[in-house]
A and B are shown apart, each in its own frame.
Chain A
C-alpha cells in the first residue's frame, strides 16, 4: 500500500492533466481545482524543505561538524532576509535594493566564473589534446562564432558578408533543434514511465 498509493495518485493526476489538455474546455474547471491543490501542496512541501534545511544546518552547528561556519552564514542570512521581509514588507524598495545589492554581484560573478573556466579550458585543450579533428573543429567554430557575436562584422554592412554571417548563424539552430527533439522525446518517455509507475521521482 505504501508504494501503491503514490503510484496511483501520480498516474491519476497525470492522466487527468492529459485529458484536460486534450479535451480542453469541458475539464477546464476541474483542472483549475486540481492545479490549486497542487500549488498548495507544492507550497507546503517548500516550507517543509526550508524547515529541513534549517534543522540540518542547526544540527551541524550544534555538533560542530566540519564546515559549520558556512552553516552559520546560511542561517544568519536566512534570518536577516526573513525578518527584514516580515518587518519592511516584500514590496519595500529599500529591502529590494538590499537584496539586489547582494544577489546581483553574486550571480554575475558566478556567471563570469563559468565563462573564465570555459576560457581556461579552451586554452588548455590544445595542449592537453594536441592537434586533432575535435580540437581544430572546436577552435575554429569557437573563434568564428565569437567574432560573429561581437557584431563588428555586421557593422561593416557588406551584403555578401552579411549573407554569410546569416547562414552561419543558422548552423547552431540545427544542432539546438536536434537537442530539443531529444529533450522532448526524453520528457515524453519519462512522463510515460511515471504514469505507468515505472519511475518514482518521489523515492521508494
Chain B
C-alpha cells in the first residue's frame, strides 16, 4: 500500500489518484519491474527553475528543508517552493542582507532574470517528463495487450464447458441446445423472456461485490498476482447481468488454484460466489480511474463485447464465427483452385420431353424460314434515295460514249463473288449497251475464272482476262507505265491513262488502298470508280469525300439502287435471299441468347426465393 502525500491515507499501489482526497498519485505509481528505472530517472529530474527558486529562498528555513528533501521528487520541491513564495512574510524580506535584496529587486525588475537558459531547461525537463511518462504508458499498454492476447487464446483453446447439468435442470435436451447455439438469432425471443428471471440474480451478486470491497485491502497481494494474468476488464469486474445470471444458475465447484480463477474463461465467471473472486470485483472501482487515465476506459465497452464470459450464447457466437471462417476459407480455396480454368458451361436441368419440344420448334422455324425464302417474293425498295457516291458513279457512267475504253479490274475472292456479281453485272450490262470497249484485268489468280463467271452472269460476250503479276508492285508499275512498253504490263492492256474509266471490283481494303494511294497519284481521280462489298463502304467514303474517287457503290442494296438508276434489272438470284436468310438467323440467335439468359436469371431468382 502507498500513502497519499496530501491526506496521508492508504491507497492501492496501482492507484494514480487518491481515492480519499482525489489528488494525483502519479509520482507514486509503480509498475512491477519499472521501479528501479523510475527511481533512477526521478533523481536528476529537477528543473533549473526550481534550483533558482531554491537559491532565491536561500535564507528561509523552509528552503533548507527543501534542499534536503529535493531528492524526493520534483513535485514535492515545487510544492514547497510555491508555499514559501506565497507565505514569505514581509518582515523576513526586510531582514535580508543588502546584496540579496538587490538581487531580488533586479530579478523583479527583469522579467526574464532567469534568462533563456531557464526557459530552455524547463522545456527540456517537460520533454523528459513527457517522454518518461510516454514510455511508461507504452510499456503498460504492451503489458495489457499481452494479457488480453493470452486470455483470448485461452478462451479459444478452452474446451466447451460442461453445462449438461444446467441443461438438464432447464429440461433442454443436448440436441436442442446445440441447435440454439448455431442459431442465436432464433433465441433472441427466448432471451427476452428469460431476462426478468435473470435480474434478481444480478441483485444477488451486488452485495457480494460490496462485501468484496471491504475485503479488498486484505487481498491486495493476491489481486496483483491475478492482474498479471487477467485483462483490465476482468479486474474491473464484469458484472454483465446475463453472465452473472448464468453463473448463479450454474454453480460450479471451486477452482483448484488461483491461476485457474484468473483465467478469463467462463469457469472463472461461474465462480462468482467464491471468496477469492470478491477482492477482484471489489477492487474494480479503484482500478477504474487508473485505466481511465491510461486511456483504456474508452475501449471498455468494446472489450466487454469481445471478451464476454463464455456463456452459452457467447460460445455459440464463437462457433458461428469459426464455422463462417471455415466456410470463407473453403470458398477461397475453391477460388484459388479454379483460377485459370475456363468458365464452366451453365448447367441446366433437362426436363424430360423438353428436348423433343425444342426440336419440333426448331424444325418448324427452319421450315418457315425456308418457305419464306422460296415462296415469298423478295421485298424490293420502291423508291430509295440514291446514295451520293452511287449517284456520282452513275454520272460517270452516263458520260461514257460508244468506243470509250473501260478497264474492269477484278480483285475479289470466290467467297464474295456472288455479292460482287450482283452489284457489277447490271453495270457491265449497261456499259455493253452503251458500246464501251471493255477490258478485264486481274491481280489475283482467282480472277481468271471469276471473270468468266462474272461475264456469264452479266450476259455479255466473254473476253480474255489479263493477269497483272507482282501484286502491289505490278499495280504501281502499270500506273507508271506511260509508254506502254513495260514488261510487267500484260499484252492487250494499254496505258492506264488512256482508259476513260477504271472500274475496280473489290472486296479487300488492302487492294482498294493500293489502287487509290499508290496508283491514284499517277492517274486522274475521275478515272477511278469502285464497286465493292458492303463492309468496304466505311473505307471508301473518306476517299470519295477527299475527291480521290469518281464514285462507288458498296453492298447489294446500293448495287440494286444503282441498277435501277441505270434502268437495268438487278440480279435476283439466290445469294440475295441467302444473305437475308443469314441475317435473319443471326438476329434470331442473338434474340435467343438474350431470352435464354433472361430465363436463366428468372429461374435462378425463383429457386432462391423459397430458400429465403
Contacts and interface: CB of A to CB of B under 8 A. Distances in A.
B587 A147 contact: yes
Contacts of B469: 39, 43
Contacts of B538: 172-173, 175-177, 180
Interface stretch (A62-70, A117-125, A194-202): A117-125
Contacts of A115: 582, 586
Nearest to B601: A131
A126 B597 contact: yes
Given A126-B594, A146-B583, A119 B446 contact: no
Given A107-B413, A154-B557, A143 B597 contact: no
B589 A104 contact: no
A103 B589 CA distance: 29
B580 interface: yes
B285 interface: no
Given A104-B417, A150-B584, A173-B541, A143 B480 contact: no
Given A35-B477, A36-B488, A107-B413, A143 B591 contact: yes
A127 interface: yes
Contacts of A24: 521
A100 B379 contact: no
Given A107-B415, A172-B538, A176-B538, A93 B452 contact: yes
A104 B473 CA distance: 27
Contacts of B464: 91
Query: What is the interface of chain A mostly: helix, strand, loop, or mixed?
Result: helix
B343 A128 contact: yes
Contacts of A52: none
A139 B590 contact: yes
B554 to A, nearest CB: 11
B477 A32 contact: yes
Contact of A127 (B521, B522, B534, B597): B597
A128 B346 CA distance: 8
B453 interface: yes
A90 B481 CA distance: 25
Contacts of A203: none
B382 A157 contact: yes
Interface in A23-61: 24, 28, 31-32, 35-36, 38-39, 42-43
A130 B598 CA distance: 9
A64 to B, nearest CB: 33
A42 B385 CA distance: 46
Given A36-B486, A39-B474, A123 B593 contact: yes
B492 interface: no
A142 interface: yes
A104 to B, nearest CB: 4
B586 A96 contact: no
Given A104-B417, A108-B414, A146-B583, A31 B596 contact: no
A155 interface: yes
B334 interface: no
Contact of A162 (B346, B385, B481, B537): B385
Interface string A105-116: 011101110010
Contacts of B480: 28, 31-32, 35
Contacts of B597: 126-127, 130-131
Contacts of B381: 151, 154-155, 157
Nearest to A31: B480
- Size category of the binding interface on chain A: 35 or more
Interface string A166-204: 100000110111001000000000000000000000000
Query: What is the interface of chain B mostly: helix, strand, loop, or mixed?
Result: helix
Contact of A155 (B380, B385, B453, B481): B380
A21 interface: yes
Interface in B439-487: 446, 448-450, 452-453, 464, 467, 469-471, 473-474, 476-477, 480-482, 486-487
Nearest to B449: A96
B166 interface: no
B62 to A, nearest CB: 86
A155 B452 CA distance: 33
* Residue among B384, B449, B580 facing the most chain A CB atoms (10 A cut-off): B449
A154 B384 contact: yes
A80 interface: no
Contact of A123 (B471, B482, B589): B589
Contacts of A83: none
Given A91-B448, A107-B415, A100 B453 contact: yes
B542 A149 contact: no
A122 B488 contact: no
A57 B582 CA distance: 38
B100 interface: no
Contacts of B329: none
Contact of B534 (A91, A112, A126, A149): A149
A22 B596 CA distance: 59
B446 A103 contact: yes
B383 A36 contact: no
A104 B417 CA distance: 9
A74 interface: no
A108 B534 CA distance: 16
Given A38-B473, A155-B381, A176-B539, A142 B449 contact: no
Nearest to B462: A93
B117 interface: no
Contacts of B82: none
B419 to A, nearest CB: 10
A123 B590 contact: yes
B583 A123 contact: no
A184 to B, nearest CB: 9
Contacts of A112: 582
Nearest to A130: B597
B7 interface: no
24 contacts: A32-B477, A32-B481, A36-B487, A39-B469, A43-B470, A106-B414, A107-B413, A108-B414, A108-B415, A110-B415, A122-B589, A126-B596, A127-B600, A146-B590, A150-B584, A151-B557, A151-B580, A157-B383, A173-B537, A173-B541, A175-B538, A176-B538, A180-B538, A180-B542
Interface of B: 343, 346, 379-385, 413-417, 446, 448-450, 452-453, 464, 467, 469-471, 473-474, 476-477, 480-482, 486-488, 521-522, 534, 537-539, 541-542, 557, 580, 582-587, 589-594, 596-597, 600-601
Given A96-B452, A127-B593, A177-B542, 12 more contacts: A93-B452, A97-B452, A122-B586, A126-B594, A131-B597, A139-B590, A139-B593, A147-B587, A150-B584, A154-B384, A154-B557, A173-B541
Interface of A: 21, 24, 28, 31-32, 35-36, 38-39, 42-43, 90-91, 93, 96-97, 99-100, 103-104, 106-108, 110-112, 115, 118-120, 122-128, 130-131, 139, 142-143, 146-147, 149-152, 154-155, 157, 162, 166, 172-173, 175-177, 180
A-B CB proximity, top 8 nearest: A176-B538, A96-B449, A39-B470, A107-B415, A126-B597, A123-B593, A111-B415, A35-B477
